Amino acid sequence: MSDLLLFVESNTTGTGREFARRAASLGAVPVLVTTDPDRYPYVRADGLRHIVADTSVTEEVLRVAAELQRDGRVRGVTSSSEYYVPTAAAVARSLGLPGPAPEQVSRCRNKGAQRRVLHEAGVPVPAFEVVTSEAEAASAATRLGLPVVVKPVLGSGSLGVRLCADERAVAEHAAELLAHTTNERGMSLPREVLVESYVRGREFSVEMFGSRVVTVVRKHIGPLPHFVELGHDVPAGLRPEERDLLGSLAQRAVRALGLGWGASHTEIRLDGGRGHVVEVNPRLAGGRIPDLVGHALGVDLVQAQIGAALGDAVATEPRHRRHSAIRFLTADGPCTVGRPEEAVRGAHAVPGVVDAALYRATGAAAGPPVDFRDRLGHVTAVADDPDEAGAAAEAGIDRLRATLRYDEDRKQA
């Protein structure tokens, strides 16, 4: 009788495909439960077993699990999509399987509720208010002090996050966010917006597994007013006291939120020796950070997450210590993609580059980034020295950038 591992939906980029592959490598049969398998091209390409069901309803996923028990033993339930982690957790608990606490995960996903818990626990966070109208948003911005960051209480991947310099910009962006009743997955959104003080300084993320800090990541953020992540360095180049401060802050935040099962991804701003927790995500990091951790430390976080869902013992101690870096390609203005194959070959030719890709086909239009969906490609590099890894990734991006044809270029051609 086969051991089955249910995946409730998937993320559309990054680790979704790897989740299924790691499950198979650990002897389990991966089964994707989804409302739309065509959302994930790898499903058809890999011949992944899948079942169509309404994944917005926990009872529907439980019904699928009950039917599958006739074919094998459902040994685990998880998700690589932040949107469906609460559903996967609820299903796992109902079946008596390993997973995070559904209540804590759901509370953590709501940025307003998360902030209240962290603030009450004494974990430093940006000053904030949760509002339900554009007028409330403008008033909150005045009280907090401009500029402020305005964002949805439920979201992912920098979607809808914007720095607003004045009350008018605050009100306009809040009105725009409040007008959305569902997100890009068709899930209902609360009529709430988070307004928070803008914390300057460098941005990092702390990758944890259970209660253990695996590594600290340096994040490179694109031009304001948006907060698109344009690169990561693993591990971050920090003094020991800074690394310890960030790790301790993340551990405090995870404990306060009642987490501690599996992977967590905590984003922190460090300014003048003081850290502020921006948010805690009860999942693996995106932005190909798990790949970087594997290259730099020999730790397979995807396999660890799958192993935890199956109830296996997992190890996340470093097996070696190198440095990895990723840089994402974005456009500076309206443009089209030229010949991606040549650009990718050129990036791979840079010493130290281990991976390069362009996400758009020849002739595809592009523009400046507003959120992660506007990233056009990436280059990953590995070296024994952090500066060498970063420089190689940058050089690879320069090769990819050469394929972009801006409007002025086309006019002159």
Active site residues: 283
Per DSSP, what are the bridge partners of residue 129? 195
Which residues, 6 or more positions from 334, have their beta carbon under 8 angstroms from its beta carbon? 365, 366, 367, 406, 407
- Grouping H, G, I as helix, E, B as strand and the rest as coil, residue 406 is strand
Assigned token pair, 66: 């009950």
Assigned token pair, 345: 């070959």
Distance of CA 2 to the CA centre of its chain: 31
Please give the biggest Cα pair distance in the chain: 65
Answer yes or no: are the C-beta atoms of 184 and 159 closer than 8 Å: yes
Answer yes or no: are the C-beta atoms of 48 and 21 closer than 8 Å: no
At 318, phi and psi to the nearest 5?
Answer: -60, 140
Pick from 220, 99, 57, 228: nearest CA to 157:
228
Torsion of CA 253, 289, 340, 16, to 10 degrees: -90
